[in-house]
Amino acid sequence: TLSQLIALHIISAKAPMTLLSLSQALGTRPPATCAMVDRLARAGLVCRTPDPEDLRRVVLAVTHTTTQMIGKIDPDTAHRLQSVLTTMGSAAQRVLAEVLKDTARRLAR
């Protein structure tokens, strides 16, 4: 989904980051963010590791697969992307998601 793509870009730019930090960056509630990260982790796109500063917490990072898929971006680019995508209406987000899916299919040929 578009939300997952935004999350991957944010995690890639700001890793390692906590679930709470991601939730704040996305403007979503922690339980919803946790569910999204669960899906991304099951898909092999995000990994969770113990926070070396506080072993009760985990930090998020993208996997090598994700880095290859989306490339490495700097935090400023991730912030600008987040700003643009989160201000788009839901109809525009759906259109963009379809365009991106179609582009990915064409590139895979």
pTM of the model: 0.67
Could you list the residue range(s) of the whole structural domain that residue 21 is in?
2-108
Q: What is the pLDDT of residue 99?
A: 78
Closest CA relative to residue 87, chosen from 15, 27, 36: 27
Structural domain tally of the chain? Answer: 1
Mean pLDDT over 45-50 rounds to 94
Q: Give the C-alpha separation, 105 to 56, whole Å.
A: 41
The band of 86, judged by pLDDT with boundaries at 50, 70 and 90, is: confident
Q: Is the pLDDT of residue 72 over 70?
A: no
Tell me the CATH number at 101: 1.10.10.10
Helix (H) or strand (E) holding 27: none
Cα dist. 56→49, 50, 52, 53, 108 in Å?
A: 11, 7, 9, 9, 41
